[in-house]
Amino acid sequence: MIIIGERINGLFKNVRKAIQEKDPGPIQELAKKQVAAGAHYLDVNTGPAVDNPAEVMDWLVETVQEVVDVPLAIDAAKMEAIEAGLKVHKNGRPIINSTTAEPKMLEKALYLAGEYNALLIGLAMNEKGVPKDSDSRVAIAMEIIATADSCGFSPSDILIDPLILPVGVAQDHAPEVLETIRQMKLLADPPPKTVLGLSNVSQETKHRSLINRTFLVMAMAMGLDSVIMDANDQELMQALATARILLNQEIYAESYLEI
Amino acid sequence: MIIIGERINGLFKNVRKAIQEKDPGPIQELAKKQVAAGAHYLDVNTGPAVDNPAEVMDWLVETVQEVVDVPLAIDAAKMEAIEAGLKVHKNGRPIINSTTAEPKMLEKALYLAGEYNALLIGLAMNEKGVPKDSDSRVAIAMEIIATADSCGFSPSDILIDPLILPVGVAQDHAPEVLETIRQMKLLADPPPKTVLGLSNVSQETKHRSLINRTFLVMAMAMGLDSVIMDANDQELMQALATARILLNQEIYAESYLEI
């Protein structure tokens, strides 16, 4: 299970402030803290409230790379900002986060993925939005994979995000997302990878950590490969480690939580 | 999700002592406590260390029924003891716990199920033991269902227990059990019900509650219908409630844990 730390995101107040003040301290602290907790990648997102996203992304990536050497998921709404991050990315294979199946966006994202040898997160949505049922999500994922294939990518270069919505807003989506994850394993050989932006499921709920870890464990049972999450949520990390044991992905030892 | 409380079992010291002393107090306390916590059924098991299992089962069932009115799962190795419990059972439809696919045992159990209008737990094992892979577990379940069908039972009268083994002993069984639960939904129409003796997965481990609730959530994602568990493990009950929300089996409300 690949853990992608979610915390360097301009949506968080302390990150937004650090970006505005060009203060590397808080960003670098978050980077080190997430990697120390077990994150294999760090997501880096400028947040929506910046005028010059490409410039900010360049600074964020450089700032993070000064203190940790994990690869990054370059996360932005605009491909210009993503490209700015890819240009200065230096540790391993970056992840482009993300594209929808909308043809122009997908084409641009695939171009960048090829140019910078990046993995690409494809969201199970298109210009019409996020469909509810798993069949429609799978159909959109298939479009992304077919387009990627026609550009010479392996399905395993693509991480399909079936898009979990907040349970308080769209509860009926949650089981559809689980089924979509399961279906991905049957879609191609090698299958595409799967990823979830986990915290979204618990937006505006009272028991965020409990809801996050319960959904993660369910998604892992369905075959989830990677997750964007709070690596510093210790109960979440313990649930993840336990799920890995029960899926026989890690050899059981009494001390498995202490590693 | 049907919760079957596990605590009235002669394997527990306090229950064994109460049985030996014919002291109804501790048994009735456990009965009330489990029902108050949300158990829909109570499992009643004399434990292996009694000379007169039929007589003890009779006493246990009567003792429990004096204080709670949920139906019981009559749990014994010997059909004589099970029948003694069924004879005095009075609240709703009892569960016979359990039979293997071994023909003579299965025949006897089906006879009792018909005689006492009971549901029947069928273990995915036969005279050769518990198979490892899910295909073999499913094949044994299918034998049980086919035999039950030939005796006039609906598949939904049968609860298949795919038999989870302790993760420290047979870790590779755990994902096979999950897959078996999923397959059960595809096996017949109506499908058989599924049940797990949950606590077995964490026998002799250091983090019992965490392992129990993580496996329960995974099994629920696969479609588990009922579970024999510790209804007084609050974190387990919270994980179960959260899984129900995320599977859209219960309408989300911010206060869902307080109900």
Give B225's contacts (C-beta < 8 A, 6+ positions apart).
Answer: B1, B2, B159, B193, B194, B195
Chain A residues with CB-CB distance to B167 below 8 A: 245-246, 252
Chain B residues with CB-CB distance to A171 below 8 A: 245-246, 248, 251-252
The encoded tokens of residue B205 equal 């481990």
Strand A2-9 vs strand A226-229: parallel, antiparallel, or unpaired?
A: parallel
- Please report how the helices B208-221 and B234-246 are oriented relative to each other, as an axis angle in degrees rounded to 10: 20
CA distance A138 to chain B (A): 19
Chain B residue closest in CA terms to A181? B221
Q: Calculate mean pLDDT across residues A144-152.
A: 97
Q: Identify which of A192, A188, A157, A162 has the alpha carbon closest to the alpha carbon of residue A175.
A: A162
CA distance A127 to chain B (A): 27
Between B239, B245, B257, which is nearest A171 by CB? B245
The encoded tokens of residue A209 equal 């950590």
Q: Identify which of A42, A40, A44, A139 has the alpha carbon closest to the alpha carbon of residue A84.
A: A44
Are A239 and B205 in contact (CB < 8 Å)? no
Chain A residue closest in CA terms to B171? A248
CA distance A236 to chain B (A): 11
ipTM: 0.95
Chain B residues with CB-CB distance to A222 below 8 A: 221
CA distance A222 to chain B (A): 8
Which residues share a beta bridge with A73?
A43, A95
Per-domain residue ranges for chain B?
2-246
Give ∠ CA B156-B162-B65 in degrees, rounded to 5. 60
**pLDDT at residue B259, as a whole number:** 60
Please provide residue A40's backbone torsions phi and psi, each rounded to the nearest 5 degrees: -90, -25
| Residue of B246, B248, B258 to mutate, testing the A interface (most A Cβ within 10 Å of its Cβ) | B246
Maximum alpha-carbon separation in chain B? 51
A259 pLDDT tier (thresholds 50, 70, 90): low
DSSP 8-state assignment for residue A35: H
Are B242 and A210 in contact (CB < 8 Å)? yes
Q: Calculate mean pLDDT across residues A6-16.
A: 96
Chain A residue closest in CA terms to B247? A175
pLDDT (tens digit per residue) in B91-107: 999 999 999 999 999 99
pLDDT (tens digit per residue) in A234-255: 999 999 999 999 999 999 999 9
Q: Tell the burial category of A72 from Cβ atoms under 10 Å away from its Cβ (0-12, 13-18, 19+).
A: buried
Are B221 and A167 in contact (CB < 8 Å)? no
**pLDDT at residue B48, as a whole number:** 85
Q: Calculate mean pLDDT across residues A112-138.
A: 97
The encoded tokens of residue B30 equal 């456990």
Give A227's contacts (C-beta < 8 A, 6+ positions apart).
Answer: A1, A2, A3, A4, A195, A196, A198, A216, A219, A240
Amino acid at B39: A
Q: Calculate mean pLDDT across residues A198-226.
A: 98
Interatomic CA distance for residues A116 and A90, integer angstroms: 10
CA distance B61 to chain A (A): 35
Contact A252, B168 (CB under 8 A): yes
Interatomic CA distance for residues A159 and A192, integer angstroms: 6
Count how many pairs of residues, chain A against chain B, have C-beta atoms within 8 Å: 98
pLDDT (tens digit per residue) in B16-30: 999 999 999 999 999
Contact B213, B239 (CB under 8 A): yes
Please provide residue B12's backbone torsions phi and psi, each rounded to the nearest 5 degrees: -80, 135
Average pLDDT across chain B, whole number: 97
Q: Identify which of A244, A188, A191, A250 has the alpha carbon closest to the alpha carbon of residue A220.
A: A244
Say which CATH superfamily domain B2-246 falls into.
Dihydropteroate synthase-like (3.20.20.20)
Between B175, B201, B238, which is nearest A248 by CB? B175
**pLDDT at residue A258, as a whole number:** 86
Tally Cβ neighbours within 10 Å of residue B77: 12
Between A211, A238, A254, which is nearest B242 by CB? A211
Q: Calculate mean pLDDT across residues A63-74.
A: 98
The encoded tokens of residue B111 equal 């006879």
The encoded tokens of residue A194 equal 């799967």
Interatomic CA distance for residues B20 and B49, integer angstroms: 10
CA distance A43 to chain B (A): 25
User: Which residue is associated with the tokens 């039972």?
Assistant: B153
Question: What sign results for the dihedral spanned by CA atoms B140, B218, A172, A102?
Answer: negative
Are A239 and B178 in contact (CB < 8 Å)? no
**pLDDT at residue B49, as a whole number:** 74
Interatomic CA distance for residues B253 and B259, integer angstroms: 10
Chain B residues with CB-CB distance to A206 below 8 A: 254-255
Amino acid at B257: L
Please give chain B's pLDDT, 259 residues, in tens: 999 999 999 999 999 999 999 999 999 999 999 999 999 999 999 998 788 999 999 999 999 999 999 999 999 999 999 999 999 999 999 999 999 999 999 999 999 999 999 999 999 999 999 999 999 999 999 999 999 999 999 999 999 999 999 999 999 999 999 999 999 999 889 999 999 999 999 999 999 999 999 999 999 999 999 999 999 999 999 999 999 999 999 999 999 998 6
Chain B residues with CB-CB distance to A214 below 8 A: 217, 239, 242-243, 246
Map chain B to HEC letters. Answer: CEEEEEEEECCCHHHHHHHHCCCHHHHHHHHHHHHHHCCCEEEEECCCCCCCHHHHHHHHHHHHHCCCCCCEEEECCCHHHHHHHHHHCCCCCCEEEEECCCHHHHHHHHHHHHHCCCEEEEECCECCECCCCHHHHHHHHHHHHHHHHHCCCCHHHEEEECCCCCCCCCCCHHHHHHHHHHHHCCCCCCCCEEEEEHHHHHCCCCCHHHHHHHHHHHHHHCCCCEEEECCCCHHHHHHHHHHHHHCCCCCCCCCCCCC
Assign residue B236 a region: left if phi > 0, alpha if psi is -120 to 50, beta otherwise?
Answer: alpha
pLDDT (tens digit per residue) in A187-208: 889 999 999 999 999 999 999 9
Whether A50 has a pLDDT exceeding 90, the answer reads no
CA distance A166 to chain B (A): 10
The encoded tokens of residue A15 equal 């990150």
CA distance B19 to chain A (A): 34
Chain B residues interacting with chain A (CB cutoff of 8 angstroms):
167-168, 171-172, 174-175, 178, 201, 205-207, 210-211, 214-215, 217-218, 220-222, 238-239, 242-243, 245-248, 251-252, 254-255, 257
Interatomic CA distance for residues A76 and A63, integer angstroms: 17
Between A175, A211, A239, which is nearest B247 by CB? A175
